[in-house]
Amino acid sequence: DPNDHMQYMRLALDQAHESPPKPSNFRVGALLVNEDTGTILARGYTLECEGNTHAEQCCLLKFAQAHDLPEERVGEALPPNTVIYTTMEPCNLRLSGNLPCADRIIRTKGKDGEQRIKKVYLGVKEPEKFVGENQGRTKLEENGIECVHIPGLEERILSVATAGHKS
């Protein structure tokens, strides 16, 4: 129910607070959740993992590592109804040129080819600061992944996300 979504989004925002402020990206938090059981499978925040990593990417990487899999094969270990809560819409283009999170989410398939991450719950659209209008949500929906905006935390999410930017 809506309260559960808000609880998970709050936990994702808690993750965002852990991210080191930088002028060149946003501080984002994410949670990987088994929608059938409510179990939190992984949590992550921007720059948590080695290298220039995104919050959603860290969730996938950590869960993959916990199952001795490379991140690109994480779908093989994910439950069938996995969802991701992310404070900001997954990226579809990164100034660094790293693989965007929309693609990482789309490729989470089981051995049977079945899509594992089926829904993305997002706190805000990406502000048009780095890459213009982010097409992440469009790309996800074009690939059959439902995107749902969870309202209510927008101001807090954006103030955390931009804490490293000059005011």
Ligand X SMILES: Nc1nc(=O)c(N)c(NC[C@H](O)[C@H](O)[C@H](O)COP(=O)(O)O)[nH]1
Q: Which residues are catalytic?
A: 56
One of 28, 61, 102, 117 touching ligand X (CB under 6 A): 28
Q: Which stretch binds ligand X (CB under 6 A): 6-14, 69-77, 86-94, 137-145?
A: 86-94
Distance of CA 104 to the CA centre of its chain: 10
Q: At its nearest, how many Å lie between ligand X and the CB of residue 73?
A: 21
CA separation for the pair 29, 25 (Å, rounded): 13
CA separation for the pair 89, 157 (Å, rounded): 11
135 is a site residue for ligand X (CB under 6 A)? no
Q: Which residues does residue 30 pair with via DSSP β-bridges, in sequence order?
A: 44, 86
Strands (E), 17-73: 29-34, 40-45
Q: Which residues does residue 31 pair with via DSSP β-bridges, in sequence order?
A: 43, 85
Residue 139: name its binding partner from Zn ion, ligand X, none (Cβ under 5 to 8 Å by kind). Answer: none
One of 74, 91, 105, 150 touching ligand X (CB under 6 A): 91
Helix axes 2-16, 55-66, angle to 10 degrees: 90
Tokens of 92: 């579809």
Q: Kindly determine how many residues on this chain lie close enough to bind ligand X according to the rule CB under 6 A.
A: 22
Closer Cβ to Zn ion, 54 or 139, answer by number: 54
Q: Which residues does residue 124 pair with via DSSP β-bridges, in sequence order?
A: 88
138 is a site residue for ligand X (CB under 6 A)? no
Closer Cβ to ligand X, 28 or 41, answer by number: 28
Given the rule CB under 6 A, which residues bind ligand X? 24-26, 28, 46, 52, 54-56, 86, 88-91, 94-96, 98, 101, 126, 130-131
